[in-house]
A and B are shown apart, each in its own frame.
Chain A
Amino acid sequence: MLEPVDELPINTGDDVVRVRQAVRARASAARLSLVDQTKLITAASELARNTLVHGGSGVARVETVQRDGRPGVKAVFTDDGPGIVDVEKALTDGYTTGSGLGLGLGGSRRLVDEFVLETAVGLGTTVSVIKWMR
Chain B
Amino acid sequence: MDRVPILSLGDVLLVSIQVDLQDESVVALQEDLAERIVDSGATGVVIDISAVEIVDSFIGRMFATIASLSKVLDAETVVVGMRPAVAITLVELGLSLQGVRTALDLERGLAALRQRRAERGIPLADESDEAVEAPAAARD
Q: Which residues of A contact B (CB under 8 A)?
A: 12-14, 16-17, 20-21, 34-35, 37-39, 41-43, 45-46, 49, 94-98, 100, 104, 106-108, 110-111
Q: Is the C-beta of B81 less than 8 angstroms from some C-beta in chain A?
A: no
Distance of A98 Cα from B97 Cα, bound (Å):
8
Complex contacts, A34 vs chain B, CB 8 Å: 85
Q: Is B53 an interface residue (CB 8 A)?
A: yes
Residues of B within 8 A of A38 (CB): 53-54, 85-86, 88-89
User: Given A42-B55, A45-B54, is A97 in contact with B20 using a C-beta cutoff of 8 Å?
Assistant: no
Q: Is the CB of B64 within 8 A of A17?
A: no
CB within 8 Å of A: which B66-103 residues? 84-86, 88-89, 92-100
Q: How large is the interface on B (under 10, 10 to 19, 20 to 34, 35 or more residues)?
A: 20 to 34
Task: Check: B39 CB closer than 8 A to any chain A CB.
Answer: no
Q: Closest CB-CB distance, A63 to chain B, in whole Å?
A: 20
Name which residue of chain B comes closest to A50, CB basis: B57
Q: Which chain A positions have C-beta within 8 A of B18?
A: none
B89 touches A97 (CB 8 A): no
| Residue of B53, B86, B97 contacting most chain A CB atoms (<10 Å) | B53
Pull 24 A–B residue pairs with CB atoms less than 8 Å apart, ordered by A. A12-B23, A13-B24, A14-B23, A17-B22, A34-B85, A35-B88, A35-B89, A39-B88, A42-B55, A42-B89, A45-B58, A46-B56, A46-B57, A97-B60, A97-B64, A97-B95, A97-B96, A97-B99, A98-B99, A104-B57, A104-B94, A110-B93, A110-B94, A111-B89
Q: Mark B6-36, 1 if CB is under 8 A from A, else 0.
A: 0000000000000010111000000000000
**Within the assembled complex, what's the spacing in Å between the Cα atoms of A21 and B54?**
11
Residues of B within 8 A of A108 (CB): 93
Check: B61 CB closer than 8 A to any chain A CB: yes
A45 to B95, CA, bound (A): 14
- B93 contacts A97, CB within 8 Å? no
Having A42-B55, A43-B93, A97-B98, one finds 7 other A-B pairs with CB under 8 Å, namely: A12-B23, A13-B22, A20-B20, A38-B88, A39-B89, A104-B94, A111-B92
Please report the C-alpha to C-alpha distance between residue A117 and residue B86 in the assembled complex, in whole angstroms: 25
Whether B86 pairs with A95 at a CB distance below 8 angstroms is no
Residues of the A chain whose Cβ atoms lie less than 8 Å from the Cβ of B23 = 12-14
What separation, in Å, do the CA atoms of A65 and B94 have in the docked complex? 28
A35–B85 touching, CB < 8 Å:
yes
- The interface residues of chain A lying within 8 Å CB-to-CB of B100 are 97
